[in-house]
Structure 1
Amino acid sequence: MNILLKYIFMFSFFSILVVNCASLSTLSDSEVEARLENCKSLGMPEIPCREVANEFGRRKQAEYKREKEAEALEDQKIQNEKDAKSIEMAKTIKMPPAGMVDPNLSKQMLEAYSAAFSEEKLTSMRAVIVSKSFSPIRHEISGIIIARGFAGVVAMKRPNGECFVASTYYEQVYDGQKYTNVYFKRYSTAWPPESTKYQQLIDCNHVYK
């Protein structure tokens, strides 16, 4: 008797599913999910449950798309705020004070930065060494000095005429007798400190002030 009732119930449930497949779009997400759970508990019969599963999948895909669009809008909003702040900041900032003065080293800083971003076709303007001393870099096994590190700010001009400053860190190779080639290694703390960008816009006329 219990088996008979079970089959009657399953037949009734399948009939409801089939009849209501056309109206799945009118159901709430929770109702569609509940139907899918019922289908799973009954072994997911092919015909009546296929449309339920498809509808559930379509809704999940639509939900995922909406979430990604919302994230993209929020990211764009944040980027727009950063850009607006950068443009406003460009009107007032100037180059930082020098920690050390070495015209030849400053020239090498500009060359190293330009080489690292050669695809941007930047025009070198000015470099300031902000470190007050060099940091020795030693070989990890022998301990001998192989280079020295220092930080600086470079000012460059883009092909579109915009000027920007970038806080940078360099290493200068030591060959055992003298310091030679300079290499750009990474971006350093932003200049000015309140900037939120690695490359902060600056009024081109302020670069040499």
Structure 2
Amino acid sequence: MASLHRSVSTGIGTAVLLLALTGCTGPSEPVATESAAAPTKTEATPTGTPTPTPTPEPSAEPSTRLADCGTVLDEAGNADLAEDDLKPFEYQYQSWDYPLLAEFVADGVVCQWAGGGDVFVVVGQLAMDEATWDATRADLEAAGYRQDDSFGIDGFVDGPDSPDESYPTRGFVWRDGILYYVSYPGILEFVPAFQS
């Protein structure tokens, strides 16, 4: 009985000593703990075919992309303006301009060429789908604009004239997703969309 008591005491003493020694030194490697957020070595990490990054679509079809002021007219149009000493100038919206031109300034392109006198040419472009153009045209007609095909441009909408109107035939025409503004319809012969 004494030897059994001594063996148990020795076993307990050894366990206490081992625990004390273990408490004095840190583990040589970090102890792995299970976590719900991180998979362990035994858990399978889900793998799959990576989803390809979609290529961004262009914002508009090529026919509805707006030109810049260097390309809104063809070469002949730019040469014609240069021949008349008309040079590019930054367009400034004026209080006497048609209200719709404010949208061209905000969301489209408006190009102006001017010379030494009061002669100037303005061409504007605004992306607009056909349904929006139909509603816009109805609003324009209610405000006194009228369709006038006598200039050889089908669908040209001439604006109402004021008594001091210097350019009485300025107006709008829609083609293939773009609404155009011109200070006179004759300039449209130099716009590629109106060439056949």
With normalisation by structure 2, the TM-score equals 0.24
Structure (1 or 2) with the greater helix fraction: 1
With normalisation by structure 1, the TM-score equals 0.23
